[in-house]
Amino acid sequence: MDAVGRAGTALDPAIPRSAPPPPPGVSLPARQARGLAADALHRLLRDPAAMVGLVIVLLMAGMAVAAPLVTRHDPLKQALVERLKPPSQNHPFGTDNLGRDVYSRVVYGGRISLRVGIFAVVVGAIAGTLLGLLAGYGGRVTDSVISRSMEIVLAFPSTLLAIAIVAARGPGIENTMLAIGLISIPVYARLSRASVIALKERDFVLAARCTGASGSRILFRHILPNGLSPLIVAATLGIATAIVEAAALGFLGLGAQPPVPEWGLMLTDARNFLLNAPWAMIFPGLAIMLTVLGFNLFGDGLRDALDPQLRR
Amino acid sequence: MVAFALRRVLETVPVLIGVSVVVFLVLRFIPGDPAIVLLGERATPQNVARLREQLGLNEPWSVQYWRFVQGLSRGDAGRSVRSNRPVLEEARARLPASIELTVAALLVACVLGIGAGIVSATLRGSAADHASRVLSLAGISIPIFWLGLVLIWIFAVQLRWLPPDGRLDADTRYTPTTGFIFVDALLQRRPDLAVNGLRHLILPAIALSTVPMAIIARMTRSSMLEVMRADHVRTARSKGLPERTVTWRHAFKNAALPIITVVGLQVGFLLSGAILTETIFAWPGIGRWIYESILNRDYPVVQGMTLLVAVIFVLVNLVVDVLYAALDPRIRV
């Protein structure tokens, strides 16, 4: 068993570069993958659109993390004498209907949106990937059950399903994250299932199987690392979708609850004061758009970088 | 072809059954007693008991589901807790408004999206191409509820060119024949009704169309670029055919297939986007009704409408698939 295990590691992604060249006919995906990764990174760094996206994302994330340092006002502090004030030096984005500083609320709102986006993607990606791996590797019945279930989830327009789930479970950030994560499961399930099906008959997987590697070892050490790139792209673009969807739920009153400075919820408040205080509506919306644009640009660039055939 | 269509229709049946199960479960997902949630904490035990009886909550789930399906087969999706009227009857009154908005948005998205995509592909690398690519990326990233507010602020509040909400001016006298304003304007020979309706339709249709438009533009561009490199396009050019004929007859016709799929997928976005758009523009359709019903905890309405929208979405996908097969014989194998 020990010898088999060692033989298995010889085909692992951790193969040393100084290893002797493989005999003809044995493919070494791990070695290629490292070459590809460096290659992809090189392409990514030279893609101006992707870099703009990355800068936007880092900027928004940096502001959110350093919120107390880059703002002067408490995002929750009301000052009725200051209500609906236009942008000024003291309040760069103006104040809202309760006299709260819109700039502080937008910056702190980034914390919530990014958290929701990332958490929802983590939930969806982990659950979806596991289901997809199982569907692709687990035999016809398992595949059929999982694939049909995913088709049923996909039969619903995604936002509507998220709304229905949150409506049933009750409004709030946790349910928002859960609902958005749940509706994104089929995306990752389909991608990882496709990877398994494409890879499971390849030589390196067959070789691993010959060495006696267990099913889970083959899935997680051999197949998953080689089918990871579409999942990474989907997850990056998925954060963008999740942020918009969370803001939409917030806007409908189903997401974050007052007085939390969430971007969608801020738009709901600002909606009634369009005539007097358009700034309270403009800046939270711009923040959503910019963040989402950042993730979309970066995700697009990542896809191009990881799949050179897609490049135009 | 017929065999493919039949097979595709048969494949839809289990999906529809699954959809009905999910929709059925939504009401059961409510934490606690749904009857208390529906009636409020102060409801008397008698009222709660009566509602539980009415909703069939005392039965086992399998029986409840069977009742639910039986009701659906009779065209009964339950009654609104608020108005006590059948859900589907109320839906019928609101459906024309939603269909008008969705179709208008889809039209705008297709015409502008495909147009921008073709211009982008044929003038690759030009200023127009760059502008169209930047705009479509922005379009994908824009939250439609925010865009709706911005449009209202600019065109209704500041410029006062267009009305901010509703489907018709408040003082318009209108007795629906079909419920579709533009059809009724024709039937009742009332051009004023059509103009009035159109003025109200423009802003919500633009807001709702943005994301699909951007996605369609991107798909059209990449699909056209791929086809324009193909040999048959080079042959068409070398025959001396005018560029317009090459673009439309030889390139676009072959690039259209993936575009059709993407357009079909956008219907799902439009259906859920309508909830946001209709809410912002006070549009009296299904979407706003779903939103109001959520706020009022009118779960039978939420359940019935989620089911209706999902069924529409499944059927649209079915039509798109069959259409795709009709256009591309390779799919039918």
Residue A251 amino acid letter: F
Closest chain B residue to the Cα of A151, Cα to Cα: B15
Closest chain A residue to the Cα of B23, Cα to Cα: A164
Share of chain B above pLDDT 70, in %: 98
- Residue the block writes with tokens 């705008």: B108
Instruction: Provide the pLDDT confidence category of residue B207 given band limits of 50, 70 and 90.
Output: very high
Q: Is residue B185 helix, strand or coil? A: helix
pLDDT at A249: 94
With an 8 Å Cβ cutoff, is B157 touching chain A? yes
With an 8 Å Cβ cutoff, is B208 touching chain A? no
Taking the CA atoms of chain A, what radius of gyration do you get in angstroms?
A: 24
Taking the CA atoms of chain B, what radius of gyration do you get in angstroms?
A: 24
**Residue A20 structure tokens:** 């002797």
What is the predicted ipTM?
0.87
Which chain B residues are Cβ-neighbours of A281 within 8 angstroms?
146, 149-150, 153
Could B153 and A281 be called an inter-chain contact, meaning their C-beta atoms sit closer than 8 Å?
A: yes
**Residue A251 structure tokens:** 């806007």
When pLDDT is averaged across residues B162-170 and rounded to a whole number, the result is 94
Q: Which residues pair with B133 in a beta bridge?
A: none
Provide the chain B residues 279-298 that lie in CB contact (below 8 A) with chain A: 279-280, 290-291, 294-295
Which chain B residues are Cβ-neighbours of A244 within 8 angstroms?
141, 143
What is the spatial distance between Cα B54 and Cα B78, in angstroms, rounded to a whole number? 10
**Residue B323 structure tokens:** 């259409």
**What are the pLDDT digits (tens) for A85-132?**
999 999 999 999 999 999 999 999 999 999 999 999 999 999 999 999
pLDDT at A233: 92
Could A297 and B137 be called an inter-chain contact, meaning their C-beta atoms sit closer than 8 Å?
A: yes
Answer whether residue A17 shows pLDDT above 50: no
Instruction: Provide the pLDDT confidence category of residue B199 given band limits of 50, 70 and 90.
Output: very high
Q: Provide the greatest CA pair distance for chain B.
A: 84
What is the spatial distance between Cα A271 and Cα A251, in angstroms, rounded to a whole number? 10
Closest chain A residue to the Cα of B223, Cα to Cα: A312
Q: Is residue B55 helix, strand or coil? A: helix
Instruction: Provide the pLDDT confidence category of residue B38 given band limits of 50, 70 and 90.
Output: confident
Share of chain A above pLDDT 70, in %: 88
Lowest-pLDDT range of A249-258, B32-41, B160-169 = B32-41
Which chain B residues are Cβ-neighbours of A253 within 8 angstroms?
295
Name the residue facing B27 among A158, A168, A248 (closest C-beta). Answer: A168
Provide the chain B residues 87-146 that lie in CB contact (below 8 A) with chain A: 137-138, 140-143, 145-146
Q: How many residues are listed for chain B in this entry?
A: 333
Could A160 and B272 be called an inter-chain contact, meaning their C-beta atoms sit closer than 8 Å?
A: yes
Check residue A267 and report its DSSP letter. Answer: H
Answer whether residue B142 shows pLDDT above 90: yes
What is the spatial distance between Cα A231 and Cα A194, in angstroms, rounded to a whole number? 11
Could B137 and A168 be called an inter-chain contact, meaning their C-beta atoms sit closer than 8 Å?
A: no
Name the residue facing A240 among B138, B141, B310 (closest C-beta). Answer: B141
Residues A249-285 as b/e (b if ≥16 CB within 10 A, e otherwise) read bbbbbbbbeeebbbbbbbbbbbbebbeebbbbbbbbb
What is the spatial distance between Cα B161 and Cα A262, in angstroms, rounded to a whole number? 32
**From the CA of B305, how many Å to the nearest CA of chain A?**
10
**Nearest alpha-carbon partner for B27 in B64, B75, B72:** B64
Could A163 and B290 be called an inter-chain contact, meaning their C-beta atoms sit closer than 8 Å?
A: yes
Selected for mutation to probe chain B from A60, A148, A152, A293 (highest B CB count within 10 Å) is A152
Q: What are phi and psi of A95, to 5 degrees?
A: -125, 160
Q: Which has the higher per-residue pLDDT, B326 or B121?
A: B121
CB-based contact A306:A43 (threshold 8 Å): no
Q: Which has the higher per-residue pLDDT, B50 or B205?
A: B205
Could A157 and B141 be called an inter-chain contact, meaning their C-beta atoms sit closer than 8 Å?
A: no
What is the spatial distance between Cα B216 and Cα B111, in angstroms, rounded to a whole number? 10
Could B145 and A278 be called an inter-chain contact, meaning their C-beta atoms sit closer than 8 Å?
A: no
Helices (H), chain B: 2-28, 34-39, 45-55, 61-73, 87-122, 127-141, 144-151, 181-187, 191-228, 231-238, 243-245, 253-280, 286-295, 299-327
What is the spatial distance between Cα B28 and Cα A130, in angstroms, rounded to a whole number? 26
Cβ-Cβ pairs closer than 8 A, A with B, add up to 135
When pLDDT is averaged across residues B14-39 and rounded to a whole number, the result is 81
Instruction: Provide the pLDDT confidence category of residue B321 given band limits of 50, 70 and 90.
Output: confident
pLDDT at B133: 85
**What are the pLDDT digits (tens) for B73-122?**
898 888 887 888 999 999 999 999 999 999 999 999 999 999 999 999 99
When pLDDT is averaged across residues B133-146 and rounded to a whole number, the result is 91
Instruction: Provide the pLDDT confidence category of residue A7 given band limits of 50, 70 and 90.
Output: very low
Answer whether residue A160 shows pLDDT above 50: yes
**What are the pLDDT digits (tens) for B219-278?**
999 999 988 888 988 898 899 899 888 888 888 888 888 888 888 888 888 988 999 999
pLDDT at B332: 59
Q: Which has the higher per-residue pLDDT, B33 or A159?
A: A159
Name the residue facing B31 among A169, A275, A293 (closest C-beta). Answer: A169
Name the residue facing A312 among B149, B153, B225 (closest C-beta). Answer: B225
**From the CA of B225, how many Å to the nearest CA of chain A?**
9
**From the CA of B122, how many Å to the nearest CA of chain A?**
14
When pLDDT is averaged across residues B5-13 and rounded to a whole number, the result is 88
Could A271 and B149 be called an inter-chain contact, meaning their C-beta atoms sit closer than 8 Å?
A: yes
Could A158 and B225 be called an inter-chain contact, meaning their C-beta atoms sit closer than 8 Å?
A: no
Average pLDDT, chain A: 86
When pLDDT is averaged across residues B140-144 and rounded to a whole number, the result is 93
Instruction: Provide the pLDDT confidence category of residue A61 given band limits of 50, 70 and 90.
Output: very high
- Residue the block writes with tokens 């738009």: A267
**Nearest alpha-carbon partner for B275 in B314, B240, B309:** B309
